[in-house]
Amino acid sequence: MNVLILGSGGREHAFAWKISQSSLCKKLFIAPGNAGTNQVGNNVNIGVNDFEKIKELCISEQVSMIVVGPEDPLVNGIYDFFNEDASLQHITVIGPSKKGARLEGSKEFSKKFMIKHNIPTAAYQSFTKDTLEEGYQFLETLSAPYVLKADGLAAGKGVLIPETLEEAKESLKEMLADAKFGDASSKVVIEEHLKGIELSVFVLTDGVSYKILPSAKDYKRIGEGDKGLNTGGMGAISPVPFVDRFFIEKVEREIIKPTIKGLVEENIDYKGFIFIGLMVENGNPKVIEYNVRMGDPETEVVIPRIKSDLLNLFKGIGNGSFSEVDFDISEEVAATIMLVSGGYPESYEKGMEINGFDELEGSILFHSGTITKDDKIVTNGGRVMAITSFGQDINKAVNKSLQNAEKIDFKGKYYRKDIGFDL
Ligand code: AMP
Ligand code: GLY
């Protein structure tokens, strides 16, 4: 079959890398893709939210499977766009319906969903401009630090964790009255601050049955020791050592099963990934958030650990055989280290020539912010590429990636050398 992947990051390169190995895959397109995806498939210069152009491509190239990388097109309803058009209904879209995408697109919707279906999560209340005073009062009942979340999508920046009551009130006012995040913060969820260890669990579902993918932990801060500004993610490890069978069974019982059951009960069409962000204290998991897509860079460690044919799993989602498709995970540890542009996550330069590809040994390279210019591969974003390695333990996997991180060369290159330090 011909497959189209939407997106342009390391996540999408990892999908493309895996799907291109499937004997079921005839032609692979990535829109818009990056310099790496073009090596395993064909980049097409179409934006992820340009549904009409995507439709044209699918018809002219006889695409029968679309894998949606980022949340934006999902929240904008790409699943429904394909599902409601008679000429496109034969195409399987891996990603939830618009209603399902609200699990990520609206913090309030996802909190309501969790409370309704008895899924453990932080206590919360939500407020608008008209209830700002009540918001202040609610903050006074909580203890520091405070957690304020813009209801809508805010490019990953919509969560504030102020340390003092004063700052919390000021931030709440900025979000609601001064529209700090535009429309996204016209409603704000304030919630109890959870303590513990954060990790992510990933599920692939056809809306009824599900498969639990490997767990992963990402490292969001720019600096070593988890210090400094937040980024999209500087590296990841899979599996997370304390995620044993006993713990996963607990997550499955308390969180995954009620989530799938909730989707069924609410008639939410959901064929895709669920990324469950957890906070774990004393072995008890609570949901921090749902994302309706895979994580980046978590995908760069989760996907390589899947031994089975991913496209066959997706095909099963499309034809109703998903629950019977075999599903094998590698026992090895995978680590990925993100090489970023100097200055990121603040301002940085683009267009730096990248060299050293031929010297890479024993790792898999997933491009993120790269582009081909005059036959050269140059940087085109803050996160430039992820270097993934396998090992018998975290140290071995990380060290292999570190050795190769030295060989890739571009002006301003920066990466964390301590990925996995806390595990
Ligand atoms: P989110 O966008 O919901 O993932 O939030 C971004 C980050 O804020 C999370 O990865 C957590 O580190 C932190 N966070 C969010 N909600 C809470 C909470 N209730 N308690 C503690 N930390 C939180
Ligand atoms: N690495 C976190 C995310 O993809 O949201």
- Please say which residue of 191, 220, 246 terminates a domain: 191
CATH classification at residue 60: 3.40.50.20
Q: Which domain holds residue 160?
A: 124-191
Please tell me if the CB atom of residue 69 comes closer than 6 angstroms to any atom of ligand 2.
no
**358-390 burial, b for 16+ CB within 10 Å, e for fewer?**
eeeeebbbbbbbbbeeeeebbbbbbbbbbbbbb
Q: Would residue 334 count as lying in a domain?
A: no
pLDDT by residue (tens digit) across 85-114?
A: 999 999 999 999 999 999 999 999 999 999
Q: Would residue 107 count as lying in a domain?
A: no
Predicted local distance difference test score (pLDDT) of residue 184: 92
- Same domain assignment for residues 56 and 140: no
- Same domain assignment for residues 7 and 93: yes
412 CA distance to ligand 1 middle (Å): 30
pLDDT by residue (tens digit) across 227-264?
A: 999 899 999 999 999 889 999 999 999 999 999 999 99
Q: Is the peptide bond before 145 cis (omega within 30 degrees of 0)?
A: yes
Name the residue of 289, 290, 291, 292 to mutate for ligand 1: max ligand atoms within 8 A of Cβ: 289
- Same domain assignment for residues 90 and 177: no
Q: Would residue 294 count as lying in a domain?
A: no
- Please say which residue of 191, 220, 243 terminates a domain: 191
- Same domain assignment for residues 12 and 84: yes
pLDDT by residue (tens digit) across 127-183?
A: 999 999 999 999 999 999 999 999 999 887 889 999 999 999 999 999 998 989 989
Q: Would residue 391 count as lying in a domain?
A: no
Predicted local distance difference test score (pLDDT) of residue 423: 85
- Same domain assignment for residues 14 and 93: yes
Give the number of whichever ligand sits closest to the CA of residue 10. 2
pTM of the shown model: 0.95
Please tell me if the CB atom of residue 191 comes closer than 6 angstroms to any atom of ligand 1.
yes
- Please say which residue of 82, 97, 112 terminates a domain: 97
Q: Would residue 376 count as lying in a domain?
A: no
Q: Given pLDDT bands bounded at 50, 70 and 90, which one contains residue 418?
A: very high
Task: Please determine, for residue 23, whether its predicted confidence score (pLDDT) is greater than 80.
Answer: yes
- Same domain assignment for residues 62 and 148: no
CATH classification at residue 185: 3.30.1490.20
Name the average pLDDT for the chain. 96
12 CA distance to ligand 1 middle (Å): 24
- Same domain assignment for residues 74 and 157: no
- Same domain assignment for residues 73 and 130: no
Q: Give the chain's domain count.
A: 2
pLDDT by residue (tens digit) across 195-217?
A: 999 999 999 999 999 999 999 99
pLDDT by residue (tens digit) across 378-414?
A: 999 999 999 999 999 999 999 999 999 999 999 999 9
Predicted local distance difference test score (pLDDT) of residue 326: 87
Predicted local distance difference test score (pLDDT) of residue 223: 97
Comparison of pLDDT for 183 and 334, the residue scoring more: 334
- Same domain assignment for residues 92 and 175: no
Confirm if 57 and 29 have CB atoms less than 8 A apart: yes
Q: Would residue 369 count as lying in a domain?
A: no
Predicted local distance difference test score (pLDDT) of residue 155: 81
CA 272 to chain centre: 12
Q: Would residue 141 count as lying in a domain?
A: yes
Q: Would residue 223 count as lying in a domain?
A: no
